[in-house]
Amino acid sequence: MAMTMTVRVTGAGGFVGSWLVERLLAAGRDRMCDDDRFDLCASDAKNAHLAALDGAGERLRLFRADLLDYDSVAKAVAGCDDIFHVELLAPAVTGTKNVLKACSQAQVKRIVVVSSLSAVMVNPEWGDKAMDEGCWSDVDLCRTTENWYCLSKTLAELEAFAHAKRTGLDVVTLCPSLVIGPLLQSIVNASSAVLVDFLTGDRLVKMKLRNFVDVRDVTDALLLMYETPEASGRFVCNSHPRRVSDVIKLLKSWYPAYKYATK
Active site residues: 153
Rounded distance, CA 254 to CA 237, Å? 26
Cα 172–chain centre separation? 13
CA angle 110, 68, 162 (to 5 degrees): 45
How many CB atoms within 10 Å of residue 241?
A: 12
**Are the CB atoms for 6 and 31 separated by under 8 Å?**
yes
Cα 213–chain centre separation? 12
Exposed, middle or buried: residue 83 (CB in 10 Å: 0-12, 13-18, 19+)? buried
